[in-house]
Amino acid sequence: MSMERIGVVGCGLMGSGIAEVCARAGCDVVVREVEPAAAEAGQARIHKSLERAVAAGKLDDEAREATLARLSFTTDIGELADRELVVEAVVENESAKVEVFSMLDKVVESPEAILASNTSSIPIMKLAMATQRPEHVLGMHYFNPVPVMRLVELVPSLLTSDDARSRVESFATDRLDKRVILSQDRAGFVVNALLIPYILSAVRMMESGFATSEDIDAGMVEGCNHPMGPLALADLIGLDTTMAVAESLYEEFREQLYAPPPLLSRMVDAGLLGRKAGRGFYDYSRR
């Protein structure tokens, strides 16, 4: 079964990026959002991303227009009925994702269609069991910004068929030109199981007064040749997403290194979510 007709549920930072790379690869893409305003914001985000690609010489005007012509936006989940692959990219919340998968199972018509989740940490089995087709459910975790970052984590559950995994791996590798790594269905998968404890350690270091955010980040950038320090990275990811992943990891493994520090919880409660809110560990309002 080919993968020419792609659906994306959610058009935030991740959903818009996933929709863009699929459309740039020649696929017909339908993006579903809950409200028209959210769909319009996602569409504007894609337009801006494509403009940057043209300005950087990575895309010409003709390719940009062709990409936009392959994209359509809707608030009706029923318009995903004929899709061959649907990627869920809603908020990192288990109940919200389970609800989406339950709805997709009812509306996506082909029994061979694959339902994938861009979750950062939620066990795929929990999403698969919300459907009557768990053998066609897997994790397809992209990284931000999706048009730039080549990595995709594929996460089959215990019930995902070899055929479904192989088809999605071929699509990501051959069609989207992504580098694919495989992970078992464990909270956090490969990248976040390693990354989140590192970020939380930096938060605890700052919280304890051990060092400032600037010095912690400078230490890792200048001393370890990281492109970005852990606290700036948390701001980029979003502190709410960082905490959600940490909570998922802690729930599964019950290891202290995954427990969100009090400072992180308070910042999320205060709406200091990082770049998208204008303020996190750093103030972006004047940048």
Active site residues: 120, 141, 153, 192
Q: Cα–Cα distances in Å, from 5 out to 1, 86, 109, 175, 219?
A: 11, 9, 13, 13, 46
* Residue 63 CA, distance from chain mean position: 25
| Spatial distance between the Cα atoms of 87 and 137, rounded to a whole number of angstroms | 10
159, 128 contact by CB (below 8 A): yes
Find all residues with CB under 8 Å of 128, minimum gap 6, and list them.
Answer: 101, 134, 137, 157, 159, 160
β-pair partners for 221: none
| Spatial distance between the Cα atoms of 152 and 168, rounded to a whole number of angstroms | 11
